[in-house]
Amino acid sequence: MARKKKGLQPLSMAFLDVICCGFGAIILLFVLTSGKKSEHNVNQLADTEVDLGRMRKDIQAEEQILLQLSSSIEEIKKRLKDLESREIDLSESLTDRTTDLSLLLSQLAEMEELRATLLGDLENLPTVPEEVPIPMPNPTRRQYLTDFKLDGERVLFLIEASGGMLDDTFDGAIERLANSEEEKREAPKWKQTMRAVEWMLTALKAPTRYQVIFFSKEVQSVITLRAGEWLDISDRQTMAEVLGQMKEVTPQGGANLERAFFYVGGMNPKPDNIILFVDGLPTLSDSVPAGPIIDQNARVRMYNAATRQVPVGIPINTIMMPMSGDPAAATSFWLLGTKTDGSFICPSKTWPET
């Protein structure tokens, strides 16, 4: 029996086709998948590089902060060393001060002992009555000065020398204006004023200095050639001259208190206490016009103009030798004393004798 020649079978070819197609599909899938994976890796690598850049910046920032902290630590260490050095210096200084204090306390104890010895010696010294440049009329009448302020380094006696100082009444003062100058100086009210000034001068104690100024229409120092000086209370020769010149002053004319306070404001150095002698509100003014009749309202305006010239910070202590018919005077000068931290008294007619 003859053999048939073998060849490829149709089934075998179909199987090979399927296998080849499947293998090709796998390769294609592998190629496609590999491309996408490569693209994903590239994107992931880019993101990683971005993150890495940020991390590098963060690391640089942290390193900068670390450098600053290191610098601060060094500065703190330096300051700490300075403080330690200063503490040592202060400790040494404290030791020196403690030693000095001990020495001072020892010296103080010696001085206290010496002081006690000197006080004991002083008590054993014979007492010598103090001579005063002015005899006091009646020392027991010092009670008038209980609330009156006579302290200060420079005390100014500002004394009104107007015609109103001749008498306690307006009519009486008018009558005395016709008298001679000697008779005017002997007027009881004026003599009382002069004795009061003398008596108050005795209340001053060294090293207080003083000046005596009279005012009426004009302003004048008791010693014209020494108008710009503050006189020494212990200088008896000068005091005698002052008392002598006071006896030559004649009260006359009106009272320009505004000009008097303006004069005080120009003094250099200024007084730190003013003793003001007046009989009532002023009757003349440089800034308030006066008519033919000067009534109470006009005098109040003149007083207000005068007080505007008062230097700031100087107490004004007023002694009023009152004239009848001037009801606003006492209240006005009392308020002036209150405003300037001064005082005000209105003495009896017999003061300072009794």
Q: How many residues does the chain have?
A: 354
Q: Is 160 helix (H, G, I), strand (E, B) or coil?
A: strand
**pLDDT attached to residue 128:** 53
Q: Is 66 helix (H, G, I), strand (E, B) or coil?
A: helix
| H or E element that contains 331 | helix 327-339
Contact present, 152 and 205 (Cβ < 8 Å): no
148 secondary structure, DSSP code: -
**pLDDT attached to residue 147:** 59
User: Mind listing the pLDDT tens digit of every residue in the chain (354 residues)?
Assistant: 455 555 555 556 677 777 888 778 788 777 777 666 666 677 778 888 888 888 888 898 888 898 888 888 988 988 888 888 888 888 888 888 888 888 888 788 888 878 888 877 777 766 555 454 444 444 444 445 555 677 889 999 999 999 999 999 989 999 999 999 999 999 999 999 999 999 888 888 889 999 999 999 999 999 999 998 999 999 999 999 999 999 999 999 999 999 999 999 999 999 999 999 999 999 999 999 877 788 889 999 999 999 999 999 999 999 999 888 888 999 999 999 999 999 998 888 877 776
The CATH classification of domain 139-345, taken from the options 3.40.50.410, 3.40.309.10, 3.40.640.10, 3.90.45.10: 3.40.50.410
**pLDDT attached to residue 140:** 46
**pLDDT attached to residue 176:** 93
**pLDDT attached to residue 139:** 47
Distance between CA atoms of residues 190 and 162, nearest Å: 10
**pLDDT attached to residue 38:** 66
Nearest to 332 by CA among 313, 311, 307: 307
Task: Spell out the domain ranges in the chain.
Answer: 28-120, 139-345
**pLDDT attached to residue 13:** 64
Distance between CA atoms of residues 251 and 125, nearest Å: 48
Tell me the DSSP string of 280-326.
Answer: SS-S--SSS---SS--HHHHHHHHHHHHTTSPTT--EEEEE---TT-
Q: What are the residue ranges of helices labelled H in 140-276? A: 170-176, 181-185, 188-202, 236-246, 257-265
**pLDDT attached to residue 143:** 45
* Token couple for 166: 């001749």
Q: Is 340 helix (H, G, I), strand (E, B) or coil?
A: coil
Distance between CA atoms of residues 20 and 335, nearest Å: 132
